[in-house]
């Protein structure tokens, strides 16, 4: 008997978990992230085993830089939600091991889920999935990752929910009044060429801006 097309992907769907997430949704929120179904959790375990096997086969790769980012994917499905770009679709988050170009963590999300929402859990899972052969760990993220719980976790070498030790990280700071004022006040002579094309000339320098997170300064001195 021939199976209908799409049955495999539908097998990962769990309507009960979606309904539960909707029931638990705070009144002021419009988006939610359901917990993963058992098949999805199993698929994640398979991917973790693949990453560990990669570590066994490539033991010389001692550095892991994780790039965590959400990507908008347009969709015309009836269930697709409106994204911040104005079209309907989805916004999955991926954690990519940059040196090996391998996905070590993922989370499928509706298009209306804010990019900065709940990035700590997927980051924790991604670092946990790295093989034991990795000795130096780093993290990179755009301004969506400039979120207190995530930054605090990366900075804490005795962190809960992950391996202990240092994690170097670089996270973009969103433009705000204080940062803009520091950029404007930076002397022209300090700006250095970064890149140039037929339309845009980019320059960069270090500016004296250190944002605060829960009373702790975060070094964030690069601007363009």
Burial of 200 per CB tally in 10 Å (0-12, 13-18, 19+)? exposed
pTM over 0.95: no
Report the pLDDT value the prediction gives residue 219, as an integer from 0 to 100: 44
Please give the Cα distance from 115 to 93 (Å, whole number): 8
Residues ≥6 apart with Cβ < 8 Å to 24: 32
| Per-10-residue mean pLDDT, the chain, length 224 | 61 84 83 87 90 94 96 93 94 96 94 93 94 95 92 92 90 86 90 90 85 52 45
Report the pLDDT value the prediction gives residue 221, as an integer from 0 to 100: 43
C-beta of residue 93 within 8 angstroms of C-beta of residue 62: no
Report the pLDDT value the prediction gives residue 5, as an integer from 0 to 100: 55
Report the pLDDT value the prediction gives residue 4, as an integer from 0 to 100: 52
Report the pLDDT value the prediction gives residue 174, as an integer from 0 to 100: 81
49 DSSP assignment: H
Domain locations along the chain: 11-168, 173-224
């Amino acid at each position: 008997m021939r199976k209908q097309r799409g049955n495999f992907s539908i097998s990962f769907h769990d309507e009960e978990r979606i309904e539960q997430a909707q029931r638990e949704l705070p009144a002021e929120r419009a988006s939610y992230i359901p917990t993963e179904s058992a098949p999805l959790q199993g698929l994640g375990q398979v991917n973790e085993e693949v990453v560990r096997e990669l570590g066994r086969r490539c033991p010389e790769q001692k550095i892991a830089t994780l790039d965590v980012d959400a990507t908008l994917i347009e969709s015309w499905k009836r269930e697709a939600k409106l994204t911040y770009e104005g079209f309907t679709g989805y916004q999955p988050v991926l954690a990519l091991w940059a040196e090996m170009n391998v996905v070590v963590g993922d989370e499928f999300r509706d298009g209306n889920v804010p990019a900065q929402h709940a990035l700590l859990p997927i980051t924790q899972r991604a670092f946990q999935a790295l093989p034991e052969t990795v000795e130096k760990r780093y993290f990179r993220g755009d301004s969506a990752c400039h979120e207190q719980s995530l930054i605090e976790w990366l900075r804490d070498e005795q962190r809960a929910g992950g391996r202990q030790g240092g994690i170097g990280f670089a996270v973009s700071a969103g433009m705000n009044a204080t940062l803009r004022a520091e950029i404007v006040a930076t002397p022209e002579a300090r700006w250095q060429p970064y890149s140039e094309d037929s339309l845009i000339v980019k320059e960069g320098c270090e500016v004296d801006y250190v944002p605060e997170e829960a009373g702790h300064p975060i070094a964030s001195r690069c601007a363009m």
